[in-house]
Amino acid sequence: MSARWTTAVIDPQTPGGLAVARSPEGFLADAHGALFPRQWLIRQAFDVVAEHGIGYFDGQPVFLYELRACVELPGHEWRGLRQFMLEGDAQIYRILGYAAQIGTWAREHRFCGSCGQPTTQVRWERAMHCPTCNLRSYPRISPSMIVLITRGDEVLLARSPRFVTGVYSTLAGFAEPGESAEQCLEREVFEEVALQVRNIQYVGSQCWPFPHSMMLGFHAEYAGGEIVMQVDEIEDARWFSVHDLPPLPASRSIARHLIDLYVARRLGLAEPVLPG
């Protein structure tokens, strides 16, 4: 049976288990991966910002050590989360993706956002508590939409200046306060390429821990307009035939799934499964 990963709040005083170490340079890793015996990690000369029990992997508790800075260890390196997404085991990536979000939250909420006083870690729930003003802060999730716009055998793909050279992807953007996901989609599409869409259909969602997004994936049909690219956000956008696509995003991304799913349906191929 394959290993199982479940998230959980675990008291750091719980003995034993496995652990991951995260610094501003990424996760500590060696030739065997990024999960280490917890007792071994504790013995290293790390400057720990926060320690959180984050779940169970194959029945063993897993802890996160969020570090102030990286420490060079022989036979080890610091790897960014995107490298694990592209190259690593899917189960391990899920663990590290969750750990990265908890680490970011723990690092950014050591002080109260209301009164500025130090906070304390609540041991029975995922929260930081301010004993001065009684504010509780919970991990943040930022909803965003991502959409593949289609026109028959054509799909609209675009490039951001931040993308890997040559890669084209779907349009995406963060929801604003007061918006539904569909309203966000329509606004972002119009802002980025000045197009109107119709027949919006929800496809699926994916955790996107860069740093704490929830991607809501949609398919929409072209309804009108000519492409006008948003300055500083879109460096190129065009219609591509499903028979002649440019370099695409990583296979584990929901952006790639939206594209592959539409191509499969258009060409009568087996439909792909949305990555977990």
Rounded-to-integer distance, Cα 23 and Cα 156, Å? 38
Rounded-to-integer distance, Cα 39 and Cα 177, Å? 44
Rounded-to-integer distance, Cα 160 and Cα 149, Å? 16
The strand ranges marked E within 153-212 are 154-159, 171-174, 196-208
* pLDDT of 1: 41
Least confident piece of the model among 45-54, 109-118, 267-276: 267-276
pLDDT at 174 over 50: yes
HSE-CB of 6 using CA atoms within 13 angstroms? 9
Rounded-to-integer distance, Cα 65 and Cα 53, Å? 9
| CATH number for the domain running over 142-267 | 3.90.79.10
Selected residue with higher pLDDT from 250 and 193: 193
Q: Is 16 in contact with 39 (CB distance < 8 Å)?
A: yes
Q: Where are the domains of the chain?
A: 5-108, 142-267
pLDDT at 2 over 60: no
pLDDT band at 103 (very low <50, low <70, confident <90, very high): very high
Token pair listed for 233: 């956000």
Closest CA to 54 of 12, 105, 92: 12
* pLDDT of 275: 80
For residue range 17-76, what is the model confidence (pLDDT) as tens digits? 999 999 999 999 999 999 999 999 999 989 999 999 999 999 999 999 999 999 999 999
Domain 5-108 and domain 142-267 have a common topology: yes
Q: Give the percent of the chain with pLDDT over 90.
A: 92
Domain 5-108 has CATH 3.90.79.20: yes
pLDDT at 259 over 70: yes
Q: Is 79 in contact with 29 (CB distance < 8 Å)?
A: yes
- ∠ CA(177), CA(194), CA(154), 5° rounding? 115
Least confident piece of the model among 2-11, 117-126, 154-163, 258-267: 2-11
Virtual torsion, Cα 42, 44, 48, 54, nearest 10 deg? -40
Rounded-to-integer distance, Cα 111 and Cα 216, Å? 31
The contacts of residue 48 (CB under 8 Å, 6+ apart) are 65, 66, 67, 68
Distances (CA, A) of 39 to 27, 47, 92: 17, 16, 20
* pLDDT of 182: 97
Q: Against a cut of 0.85, is the pTM above it?
A: yes
Rounded-to-integer distance, Cα 208 and Cα 143, Å? 10
* 3 state DSSP class of 121: strand
* pLDDT of 73: 94
How many residues appear in the chain?
276
Rounded-to-integer distance, Cα 212 and Cα 215, Å? 10
**Residue 12's Cα: distance from chain center in Å?**
25
Token pair listed for 178: 């007061």
* 3 state DSSP class of 49: strand
Selected residue with higher pLDDT from 96 and 89: 96
Rounded-to-integer distance, Cα 100 and Cα 37, Å? 19
